[in-house]
Structure 1
Amino acid sequence: MSDQDFPIALVFPPQGHFTQPYLALPCIQAWLRAHGFSNTRLHDANIEAYDALLSRRGLERARQRARERLPLARFAARQELRFSELEGFRASAEQAVAADGLVESVEDAKRVLRGERFWDVEQYLPAVRTLYQSLRLVSAAHSPSQLTPHNFTTAYGIEHSDQVLAAIADERALPFWDYYVEELLPRLVAQRPRLLGLSIIYGSQLVPGLALARLVKRALPDCHVTAGGGFLAYIGKKLLHARGADGEPAFAGVLDSLVFHEGEAPMLALALALERGEPLHGIGSLSWYERGGGATRVVENAPGHPIRLDDAPLPDFDGLPLDKYFSPELVIPYDVNRGCYYGECTFCTLPTVIGPGYRTRRAATIAEQVVALTRKHGARHVNFITDCMPPGMLSDLPDELIRREAGITWWADARVEPKAYTEAGARKLYASGCRKLLFGFETATPRLLKLMQKGQSLRATLEVADNCARAGISVTFYAMVGFPTETREEARATLEVLLANKHSVREVSLQTFHIDEIAETYHRPEAFGIRILPAAGDLSLYHDYEAESGMTQSEAAAMFEEIMTALRREYPLFSGDHIHFFMQKSHYFLHLARGTTPDQFADACARRTRDKLALGARDDLCVRDGLALVELAHSWAEAVRRLGTSAARAIRPDFLTGRYVEGAREAAQRELGSLPRARRVLAWAPG
């Protein structure tokens, strides 16, 4: 059989970031094509779905559905609105006043982000706000589902297999359904792949990805549907073993197999076995459904051998709509290594799920391939995908990039290595094109750093940040609140250190601590003074816990809000709407790559914030074009305020875990009460 007779489709489903392509599937496509499967096609369903939803046609459809599902008249005669009705009221009011204007402005907003007007902050920020508001309209059309640039949730919990099964069949809950049925599925049916692979990296992709798998299995029953990716590395075996009401594997009608860890070798072996009609038992890192004798059982193959990264071909982005990403210039992802050379942090599980082991490419290979990639695609910017670059690479890679006159700018995650990030080392990194580095800072408390086994000191971390800042490299710190036994005082001490060093640390990516079933904190809870509570569902990854000392989980959540409030107040890039530069992945980096220094960018943000605060009433005020008004029977502003409280946010799935908190809605109703009748007028203007 010719490989042309064995088509393969690789799909990245919604929801992920929309500013640059993801790397896994281009690596797998390159591997498959290099080994004879030239009829392999990539489909970035994430960016294509966003582009379809955020279009004039997409918003016209959303406007019609939102008005049918959430008519404003439903709330007009009510004397008061219960807390459970506030989200619907807010969405109804917003679509009533803004939908027409968003339909008219959304296409131009995309053009701003993709073109030269991106660089003008007074055009960029209104365009970003337009896209955010447009996604609120899309969400209203599928309420209570919510789609943002950073997440997707439904009314169904992803910790329970029965709810996931219900979600993937509920087209009203899925904003992507029309795109699937009208665009992607016909394209796949025309290709008729024998093998379809889904990359599910995030929990926000689970329901959209499995919904697509379900549609494909119904349209192409002979197509073998497999999936892999970071999120499934955590919960994939639970998914395969989940049982339906009939006692049979719940997802056997949706999937045929799952690939664990890296996908190149398993996908090639799977394609060869399917092409030849051979059994699947010998394929490393594959788990699958074996059907026969009227029953279906789960088979878990042994782990496979990792590939040698230097043998991997150039990642192949052919087939991706590179002009559709919401950025003016392409940022190409490229993996320097896989796994973590340190691998000791007690809270971290990434080295385990990426697995197996730690491997890196040679600096010469990286430089050679990066130069080839950027020249092939006419790009100048690279996101090096790595948990942390080893110290030797921090010297060798810049040397290779400089020697080859690569002419690129780049950003990456990094580990604090004082001997590598000296003043001279940081200057060489900058000369090679480095403009932004993200370090695992975690906490300012030495006791907690030791408990985390970070292998770094506060003094060394701040010294590394200062050296990078002096070289012109923007520094981001990953920080954590709520690690077991952390006290409020220790968390506030971390905040004080962050505020005192905002001259060198430009951004802080803050998370609350969560326990998953792979981390050392889960397997040795007594060492961390915690008691693990039972899993909430049969697909649960994260667990609640009780701490012997320090903050409780709810206290840590409140401390998160306290720290974020202070960062929003004090960090220029976090002030007001400037936080959009931080939230849109590569957008801040692109300004650095264009020649703006971190100091210049921070000063511009601070100056703009001061200017806005200084604005007062003027004699020349006039009504803006496109201003829309709608009369309301209740206060939209008060509804928004209540929905922004910590009690209200607790009813939505956690951003990281996707979990619903049991009893949160009832607690919010008790705390926040009902919204009384109050006649108001809501105004909206484009941007």
Structure 2
Amino acid sequence: MLLIFPPIAKACEPPAGIARLAGALAAHGIPCRLWDANLEGQLWLLEQPPAVDDTWTNRAWRSRQNHLAALRDRQTYANPGRYATAVNDLNRLLLMAAKPLQAEVGLADYRQSDLSPVRSKDLLQAAARPELNPFFPFFQQRLPELLDGISTVGISLNFLSQALCSFALIGLIRQQYPNVKIVLGGGLVTTWLSRPDWLNPFGGLVDHLIAGPGEGPLLALLGHDMSQYGGMPDYQQLPLQQYLSPGLILPYSAASGCWWNRCSFCPERAEGNRYRPLPTSRVLAELQQLVQQYRPALLHLLDNALSPALLQGLIEHPPGVPWYGFVRFEKQLADPKFCQALRQSGCVMLKLGIESGDQSVLDRLHKGIELGMAGLILENLRQAGIAVYGYLLFGTPAEDQEAAWRTLAFVQQHHAAITFLNLAIFNMPLFGDEVPEYETELFYEGDLSLYTGFTHPKGWGRGAVRRFLRQEFSRPPEIAAIIRRDPPQFTSNHAALF
């Protein structure tokens, strides 16, 4: 079997999903190959001479190998200006290389002329004309070697930015290797299959679609017992020295779903994704073995929110290398000694969903966050030396402009403890429980759209929110400094390195 991670996603760490699948297959004696077509494809495209002749592009082309080396050098991350130049120049080269095919390729995104990843007819069109994809020559070059002796291909489609390239790849495989079975899974596919109106438009193209964790269903498709599918993630076949980071960042997922699972408008809840944690003892044992085997520079724990039990386990059994992940504002973190112990375990950064600085908004969204405790936790983390990557969400139905001003005030008050900020405008999940309460409208034109537009009950629409963020929220110097600190393109995936 061949497991593929397609373009485009941030190529700074190996793909955890196909590594976990490889481990499960190996535990059952099933041979497989892994192909990170995302990383390899970006590196291939960076070597294609750009069709545009201008000063910026020419400079970037001459410096491309130096820029790649810089992103793999720890010293670059002590020089944000040098880092930004490398990232922006490489992004420029990808963009210019794809321009003749009316595509926009970047280090973190992909767009193609009039094709939309939320329209099934456009995905089918991408499959019907794979030669219009900028990665087509690369796919065509690599597939004969990779598919030699292969009967089944599994493609891990997680992000909208991967959809059009995934279907171009599927179309090419269908054209040239018609007997190969194609299995499609991953986060985006899980979202599609959770739709109550789902009617499979890809039946003539894809043999099987898998929702949720794929180990069990994939083993069942291959004729093996799906009730027992252990096995550690296996990264050995991936090009671990080529990722765009200074040393190996090793991703690891201890659970799927979210242990809190109560927030209003949460996509996980709207999709009905259950919380499926691995036993904490197994997680800690696997982390110890993976660290010994791969010697990573950094662990990236991928869970939607690390559970309190796992945080305690990491303190008692440190993995032995720096790590970061997403957590909730839980009472454990209100204890400064607990935060100090986390730092001693190797924690260098925590991602936290602050969402709002208005208590009534948080309560109406069922976030389970008390602002007084949140402020205390931020200060505890600052004193412990743990960086905070904070997420703010504006334009929810519970928010108005006055509430947004209170968020601004909260961030100003705690700016010394907030290292990075992600500012997002609320998107309402199309099939969330709360949707019938609002007057809705078209958000994306497409049968695979993930969100619906809505008339804000307080008149706090997306345009007003954008103006507030641009003209008001980003103006105070202490907040502007936090926003400028965010690593371009790679954002939270590189933030722990600074």
TM-score normalized with structure 1 length: 0.68
State the match for 1:555 in structure 2. Answer: 464
Deviation readout 1:515-553 (Å, 9 max, x if unpaired): 11343332xx32xxx212367322222111112324123
Task: Write the distance in 2 (CA, Å) between the matches of 1:170 and 1:223.
Answer: 19
State the match for 1:161 in structure 2. Answer: 120
- Is the CA contact (8 Å cut-off) linking 1:233 and 1:261 kept in structure 2? yes
Task: Write the distance in 2 (CA, Å) between the matches of 1:488 and 1:359.
Answer: 38
State the match for 2:151 in structure 1. Answer: 194
Secondary structure of 1:407's aligned partner: coil
Seen in structure 2, the aligned counterparts of structure 1 residues 159 and 116 have a Cα distance that, compared at 3 Å, is: closer
Deviation readout 1:73-119 (Å, 9 max, x if unpaired): xxxxxxxxxxxxxxxxxxxxxx4333333322111211111135524
Task: Write the distance in 1 (CA, Å) between the matches of 2:478 and 2:46.
Answer: 31
* Paired-residue identity, %: 23
> What amino acid does structure 2 have at the position aligned with 1:434?
C
Does the alignment pair 1:130 with 2:89? yes
Q: How far off its partner does 1:491 sit?
A: 1.3
Task: Write the distance in 2 (CA, Å) between the matches of 1:318 and 1:460.
Answer: 43
Does the alignment pair 1:146 with 2:146? no
Seen in structure 2, the aligned counterparts of structure 1 residues 120 and 452 have a Cα distance that, compared at 3 Å, is: closer
Task: Write the distance in 2 (CA, Å) between the matches of 1:211 and 1:238.
Answer: 24
> What amino acid does structure 2 have at the position aligned with 1:367?
L
State the match for 2:433 in structure 1. Answer: 520
Q: How far off its partner does 1:120 sit?
A: 4.9
- Is the CA contact (8 Å cut-off) linking 1:391 and 1:420 kept in structure 2? no
- Is the CA contact (8 Å cut-off) linking 1:426 and 1:467 kept in structure 2? yes
State the match for 1:414 in structure 2. Answer: 327
Task: Write the distance in 1 (CA, Å) between the matches of 2:430 and 2:257.
Answer: 18
Task: Write the distance in 2 (CA, Å) between the matches of 1:567 and 1:196.
Answer: 51
Task: Write the distance in 1 (CA, Å) between the matches of 2:123 and 2:88.
Answer: 31
Count of residue pairs the alignment pairs up: 495
Task: Write the distance in 2 (CA, Å) between the matches of 1:226 and 1:541.
Answer: 22
Deviation readout 1:360-407 (Å, 9 max, x if unpaired): 422x32222112112211224201111112223322321112xxxx42
Q: How far off its partner does 1:12 sit?
A: 0.5
Correspondent of 2:440 among 532, 540, 544: 532
- Is the CA contact (8 Å cut-off) linking 1:239 and 1:539 kept in structure 2? no
Seen in structure 2, the aligned counterparts of structure 1 residues 131 and 570 have a Cα distance that, compared at 3 Å, is: same
State the match for 2:204 in structure 1. Answer: 253
Task: Write the distance in 2 (CA, Å) between the matches of 1:260 and 1:563.
Answer: 42
Correspondent of 1:492 among 370, 384, 405: 405
Deviation readout 1:178-233 (Å, 9 max, x if unpaired): 211122x222332x321111111101111111111111122221111011111111
Does the alignment pair 1:43 with 2:40? no
Secondary structure of 1:503's aligned partner: helix
Q: How far off its partner does 1:345 sit?
A: 0.2
State the match for 1:21 in structure 2. Answer: 14
After TM superposition, the structure 1 = structure 2 runs for residues 278-677 of structure 1, keeping only pairs within 5 Å, are 312-350=230-268, 353=271, 355-362=273-280, 364-401=281-318, 406-522=319-435, 525-526=436-437, 530-533=438-441, 536-562=445-471, 565-566=474-475, 570-575=479-484, 578-580=485-487, 583-591=490-498
- Is the CA contact (8 Å cut-off) linking 1:487 and 1:551 kept in structure 2? yes
- Is the CA contact (8 Å cut-off) linking 2:291 and 2:320 kept in structure 1? no
Q: How far off its partner does 1:172 sit?
A: 6.5
Q: How far off its partner does 1:444 sit?
A: 1.0
- Is the CA contact (8 Å cut-off) linking 2:73 and 2:246 kept in structure 1? yes
Task: Write the distance in 2 (CA, Å) between the matches of 1:444 and 1:193.
Answer: 53
Task: Write the distance in 1 (CA, Å) between the matches of 2:417 and 2:43.
Answer: 36
Q: How far off its partner does 1:15 sit?
A: 0.9
Task: Write the distance in 1 (CA, Å) between the matches of 2:124 and 2:481.
Answer: 44
Q: How far off its partner does 1:446 sit?
A: 1.4
Seen in structure 2, the aligned counterparts of structure 1 residues 452 and 583 have a Cα distance that, compared at 3 Å, is: same
Secondary structure of 1:580's aligned partner: coil
**In angstroms, what is the RMSD of aligned CA positions?**
2.6
> What amino acid does structure 2 have at the position aligned with 1:345?
C
Q: Which has the larger radius of gyration?
A: 1
- Is the CA contact (8 Å cut-off) linking 1:515 and 1:521 kept in structure 2? no
> What amino acid does structure 1 have at the position aligned with 2:36?
D
Seen in structure 2, the aligned counterparts of structure 1 residues 222 and 170 have a Cα distance that, compared at 3 Å, is: closer
Correspondent of 2:61 among 103, 107, 119: 103
Task: Write the distance in 1 (CA, Å) between the matches of 2:58 and 2:133.
Answer: 22
Q: How far off its partner does 1:485 sit?
A: 4.0
Task: Write the distance in 2 (CA, Å) between the matches of 1:585 and 1:186.
Answer: 36
- Is the CA contact (8 Å cut-off) linking 2:127 and 2:170 kept in structure 1? no
Provide structure 2 residue ranges, at least 5 long, that are not aligned to the other structure: none
> What amino acid does structure 1 have at the position aligned with 2:14?
P
- Is the CA contact (8 Å cut-off) linking 2:195 and 2:271 kept in structure 1? no
Task: Write the distance in 1 (CA, Å) between the matches of 2:472 and 2:46.
Answer: 33
Seen in structure 2, the aligned counterparts of structure 1 residues 377 and 392 have a Cα distance that, compared at 3 Å, is: closer
Q: How far off its partner does 1:453 sit?
A: 0.4
Secondary structure of 2:147's aligned partner: helix
State the match for 1:644 in structure 2. Answer: none
State the match for 1:601 in structure 2. Answer: none
